[in-house]
Structure 1
């Protein structure tokens, strides 16, 4: 990932050639619109991704300790990736350009078939800085999308969309390669790219889980359609109970050239030189106050500078996004039998029992507005979309205008049929409050069946400022297999006057 201080690509003298020359028509050859073979997204073997990283480390070791633009290590990287793709049946082309007096390389790989007018592209930069081998930045993204592409070949995927993968050169010098690719596509070809997925640093040793802010919920959204990409990635992480936070579309990586042309984009990022906060350490583990990647742009960014769980999760998320967005699959791993992202009305009923006592901040399915008091965020937008179950969706004139007041508020789902067999309930939630709260204030989630009730979340407040943050929760509800149940959500401001907000989103039952 390029430094924020590096200049962006300006007026540069660039020249194009295609080694392994593949005519443009060949890059979109194959059946025009095959019937998609609907398959579940595969698990991407971590061992395979790590094997690619080992090869990139060996390439750096043999070429002056780096894989930087204009150095032999970068060309060797491109050759390694191209060899794997060629053997798997991809149609590949090397695009060359000139920058800083040196030749740079982009590698483009197309999977035959799919709608040539509807292209889903996935990319990562393949160069390092000169200071080190760049195994996290960005061997991790390069290796993860390579193994996803190889999985496409292994599975014989026949998606509705045409799949294209790209490995960019000279990203570390200002997004030179990716900008050159997008700028030099004929406008008719550029308009065929309907989505771009970017993965830059997905194995940071002290990782966070950040999605590019496609819907603009943090104030810097992408072009129309980017929210769908963000939601698909968030859905995967929700399915494995890993919370995701937004990171800005600030032009720092190779999606920059795509979004300038209005192409929807998205991706994941595990953090660079920024430091993990205490709240993030509580959410994801790791060390607070320490950089996400202590070896960012340094000689120690080697094969030992990788967090395996983060790399594994992101590689699987990439495959899930490709399969889902390309029309080749769709459900997250785990055989989902019920899912409600709350974007549509599925029959939730507020105060179903008629016993609620809250005078304001009553539960509703709505689009929540962000609410903040003295730096503490008390209400958030939805976790994966615009809508959630929230206590008083409107921000109002001040933070205390529409929070819970006066007692309890509840909302209940329509009946849900739970099939036979072992089942897991998952959802995202938050309980936020100021230091005038007490342990009498709470958020509870229950499963209500014909023969009893199980409380799956019972979160009490305390006399402390607690900011809203979507968190995952899972619970075994196998005891309700074969029964019809309802999910009941209840929150309370049950002590003295206090400022309390709660939310629930992305409810799912899986085998």
Structure 2
């Protein structure tokens, strides 16, 4: 199903309800106040009527009871959950219509549209409205803290929407891959893909976006802290819009994105309709795109737990005098940090250059040249797209150079280098990373994967490892 266009009027109708609730309850929807519970009951009532399985999860903070509204859409893979969340509480000073009635209303309307369309996603969909975010992410932290480890592992992504209708709006997307290079670094693996999905919507409508840092200020914080990938959008809070940002997006330079941030004037008059409309549609685009994506089919994989026909020195051209590739349970070595890793990505075994530690870190590393190993033949389907992924590391001392390397090639009717990491004259410790490559050029062929690593710059300490190679369609 194509992602829907979420009607702005529907989202604004929810904001009007939140405003009415605040008006009837002392002007606020804050934690521990009756306006918060009324907001939670409003959201829960609509979801119950739409066929969701809902839970009002209670917790205590500052002597008051708080609530999270958790809503599960029936169906989808229970081991592959996409969560979508927004905080429902306001500060005590005002009704919190932009912060964060806007995010709450926008995800609510996406959830209701899922029901109207009777969507049958491949992933299991779970929506959440968090309590007491304004007091330090208390509701979302309570939720994550109380998830058993097995349940946490089932959540493959979390999308967070906090302030999506700021009156002097910017268009910020959580910087999952750290491409903006500021602040806290990238999110957990998978965050970059969430960022790209959201960005693709804004690109399609011709709206430029900028990254916003995972600075811990909203409810994605507890999720990324336990390794769950996260993403989302944000239209700005008390920060001042620069002249460059005003040129990019319009609005007023030198003024806050939301002049009513955490104030009594954060009412229904404090909403930029265009920003709210675009973000509501971006949320629906992300939910539909991610939740309905068909998982790739595994064509071939090797975790190295059993022998599958890999051949060392397949062409008789290796020059290394030690550190030949082998499958086995690796022993750790250290020299100015970790070099050969004693832990695998999965299971007991990996492919490693000289499995045993020996009497010193340099005893069984690659020495004197090139060490190679090649898979048994792999028959690829004629239809793609075909993608290769593998876990790898290269470690070397500070006396290495760019002559040393780790390389992955695919040998079919042609031989193509699909990944290479060169050495350098700096210490590089062993650390598992993931490499991916398209194999579309090899569709319909029978191929072999050829892996080699080299100590070609003299007596440098070089180690490499590979685990969990997968080809998917």
Q: Same fold (TM over 0.5)?
A: yes
- Aligned positions of 1:322-333 closer than 5 A: 322-327=287-292
Query: Is residue 2:278 matched to residue 1:313?
Result: yes
Q: Please give the per-residue CA displacement for 1:230-274, whole angstroms capped at 9, x wherever unaligned.
A: 000000000000000000001110000000000000000000000
Q: State the secondary structure of the residue aligned to 1:262.
A: coil
Work out whether residues 41 and 329 of structure 1, in 8 Å CA contact, stay in contact via their aligned partners in 2: no
Paired residues for 1:115-134 under 5 Å = 115-134=77-96
Equivalent position SS for 2:107: helix
Deviation per CA, 1:411-440, whole angstroms, max 9, x where unpaired?
xxxxxxxxxxxxxxxxxxxxxxxxxxxxxx
1:155 paired with 2:117, answer yes
Q: Do the aligned residues in 2 keep the contact of 1:158 with 1:328 (CA within 8 Å)?
A: no
The residue aligned with 1:264 is 229
If the length of structure 2 is used for normalisation, what is the TM-score?
0.61
Pair 1:83 & 2:45 matched: yes
State the Cα deviation string for residues 445-475 of structure 1 (Å, max 9, x = none).
Answer: xxxxxxxxxxxxxxxxxxxxxxxxxxxxxxx
Q: Distance in 2 between matches of 1:221 and 1:200?
A: 19
Q: Is the 8 A contact 1:157 1:328 kept in 2?
A: no
- Name the count of aligned residue pairs: 293
CA separation in 2, counterparts of 1:254 and 1:124? 7
Which residue of 2 is the match for residue 242 of structure 1? Answer: 207
**Residue from 240, 264, 269 that aligns with 1:275:** 240
Task: Show structure 1 runs of 4+ deviating over 6 A.
Answer: none
d(CA) in 1 for partners of 2:147, 2:280: 28
| Structure 2 partner of 1:105 | 67
CA contact (8 A) 1:204 1:307 kept: yes
1:329 offset after TM fit, Å? Answer: 9.2
Alignment match, 2:265: 300
Structure 2 equivalent of residue 53 of structure 1: 15
Which structure has the greater CA radius of gyration? 2
Residues 329 and 318 of structure 1: CA distance in aligned 2, closer, same or farther (over 3 Å): farther
Whole-Å Cα distance in 2 between the matches of residues 288 and 221 of structure 1?
29
Q: Does 1:189 align with 2:151?
A: yes
Distance 2:38 2:106 in 1: 18
For residue 218 of structure 1, report the CA deviation from its aligned partner: 2.1
Secondary structure class of the residue paired with 2:270: coil
Give the structure-1-normalised TM-score: 0.57
> Any idea what SS the aligned residue of 1:304 has?
helix
Distance 2:10 2:46 in 1: 12
Q: For residues 286-325 of structure 1, what are the alpha-carbon distances to aligned partners after superposition, in whole Å with 9 as ceiling and x for unaligned?
A: 0000000000000000000000000000000000000011
Q: 3-state DSSP class of the match of 1:66?
A: coil
Please give the alpha-carbon distance, in whole angstroms, between the structure 2 residues aligned to 1:80 and 1:176: 21
Equivalences for residues 290-439 of structure 1 within 5 A: 290-327=255-292
Question: Deviation digits for residues 11-65 of structure 1, max 9, x if unmatched?
Answer: xxxxxxxxxxxxxxxxxxxxxxxxxxxx100000000000000000000000000
Residue in 2 aligned with 1:459? none
Q: Secondary structure at the match of 2:268?
A: coil
